[in-house]
Amino acid sequence: MTLSWSSSGLDLHLDLRGAGRRRAGLEAALRAAIQDGRLPAGTLLPSTRGLARDLGLSRGTVTAAYDQLAEEGFLTTRPGAGTTVAGLPSRTPEAEPPSPHPPPPRHDLRPGRPDLSAFPTTAWLAATRRVLTGARPEVFAAGDPQGRIELRQALADYLGRTRGVVATPDRIVITSGYYQGVRLLSGVLASAGTALAAVEDPGHNIFRQAVQRSGITTTPLTVDPEGARIDLIPPDAGAVFLTPSHQYPTGVPLHPARRQAVCAWARATGGVIVEDDYDGEFRYDRQPVGALQGIAPDHVVYCGTASKTLGPALRLAWMVLPRHLVPDVVRAKQDADLYTETLSQLVLADLITRHTYDRHIRAARLRYRRRRAVLLDRVAAVTGLTVQGVPAGLHSLLLLPDDGPSEPEALARCAAHGVAVRGLAELHHAPRDRPQGLLIGFAAPSESAYLPALTALLTAFTPDSPPR
């Protein structure tokens, strides 16, 4: 008899090869599966009738094997409850390897995440039910590498209305997060001959490294109070990566004159501008500044994501591309992972078209504006600390005084008080003398956790405050 699968309501894989007598072979196979942990304590076994039918044995043979293993203490049989694997106290379990992930911090003020406790669970569940109720069978087939047309149409309408993006569904590609979008686009640009790209300094190091992995060399554009220094773009650069609405990490927007300048550069050279608009919806003192893409839609790749509005676990992002880039990016997406998961695309499309997504963002905008105001008020009471950046986004840059702790010392103080933040130094393109600071993610904690986290953070800068 060979390897067999039970299909009697419960799948059970047993090795009955070379078993000799059938009952002895079944007993040996079950005993081995229990001893090596493949059938852990509490596992419900198939009924004797079902297992006998699936394995081609008599029911009496299976019953006798179960009875024998129950006598030996391997199985437990209770009337009406079936047969389960018993615990083996004599067995010493192998020690589990230590987790590669450190325990979560007591107070998490790291930047880059929304308040995940405010995820619109009820609305997402309702949209999922609507999608599944009306779903055609083809929804569960292989997807379109460009993304579901329902989501691309919804995004074209939404981005045009809220961000001033010039978009049609045929110019949108759905990706599994912004990181994948950067990797796909960088690969396409590199294949087309782009060897040098300009990136903001400081800027997001993970995405800068993604560009470099495609074979493109990056050169820094210094960021000052008016945003990236567009005048520093080298003549041979083929692409520029920017966060124009709310620069990461300094929090300054790109000055209107520089917006015009970088678009003029792209028109004159044929270069590509990659616009990361990851938190463009969150401006607290005025209407959000429109996307750069609206000025030069044939030269700007607009990138957005649900990671900062809903949550990064969804792995949903989008690119609005110049038409000539669409075929190559779609092919790159197909080569990477065929397509982005379909159901969540349809659910997001439902939320957008019903304006539930708008209402969620508006509520988050009010909540984050209040949190930022509390941060500024608390920081004002601590000598030497200043907050840089316009009222926008999900984080603020806390600059450290020249006569205060260094950035490594400040990070150590925060850690000693159980607060996780991010330092500014690691985001610079190259190490050199730079302003020192901490990135404070005021959006990340839940409502109940925010004030305790903020108190612990500022306590770390209070003289003689003991660690907690």
pLDDT digits (tens, 9 = 90+) for 415-425: 999 999 999 99
- Report pLDDT for 6: 45
Average pLDDT value for residue range 338-360:
97
For residue 91, what pLDDT band results from cuts at 50, 70 and 90?
low
Task: Say which amino acid occupies 243.
Answer: T
Half-sphere exposure of 143 toward its Cβ, with a 13 Å CA cutoff?
23
Average pLDDT value for residue range 97-122:
89
Taking 80 as the threshold, does the pLDDT of residue 383 lie above it? no
Report the range of poorest mean pLDDT among 245-259, 378-392, 426-440.
426-440
Give the tens place of pLDDT for each residue, 58-67.
Answer: 999 999 999 9
Domain with CATH 1.10.10.10 in the chain: 4-85
- Report pLDDT for 1: 42
For residue 432, what pLDDT band results from cuts at 50, 70 and 90?
low
Domain with CATH 3.40.640.10 in the chain: 117-358
Spell out the CATH class of 4-85.
mainly alpha
Average pLDDT value for residue range 256-283:
96
List % helix, strand, coil for the chain (3-state, nearest 5).
Answer: 40, 15, 45
Concatenating the DSSP letter of every residue in 63-131 gives: HHHHHHHHHTTSEEEETTTEEEEPP-TT--PPPPPPPSSPPPPSEE--SS---GGG--HHHHHHHHHHH
Q: Does domain 107-112+365-459 have CATH number 3.90.1150.10?
A: yes
* Closest to 39 measured CA to CA, from 79, 99, 85, 103: 85
Whole-number average pLDDT of the chain: 91
Domain with CATH 3.90.1150.10 in the chain: 107-112+365-459
- Report pLDDT for 3: 47
Task: Give percent above pLDDT 90 in the chain.
Answer: 75
Question: Which has the higher per-residue pLDDT, 225 or 36?
Answer: 225
- Report pLDDT for 94: 58
Average pLDDT value for residue range 325-344:
97
Tell me which of 3.40.640.10, 3.40.50.620, 3.20.20.10, 1.10.10.60 is the CATH number of domain 117-358: 3.40.640.10
- Report pLDDT for 95: 63
Taking 50 as the threshold, does the pLDDT of residue 102 lie above it? yes
- Report pLDDT for 319: 98
The residue to which tokens 């993970």 are assigned: 206
- Report pLDDT for 20: 58
**182-206 per-residue burial string, b: 16 or more CB within 10 A, e: under 16:** bbbbbbbbbeeebeebbbbbbbbee
CA distances (Å), origin 126, targets 93, 349, 355, 362, 364: 43, 13, 14, 20, 20
- Report pLDDT for 430: 75
Taking 80 as the threshold, does the pLDDT of residue 181 lie above it? yes
Taking 50 as the threshold, does the pLDDT of residue 462 lie above it? yes
* Closest to 278 measured CA to CA, from 334, 347, 203, 383: 203
How many CB atoms lie under 10 A from the CB of residue 63?
A: 17
- Report pLDDT for 372: 97
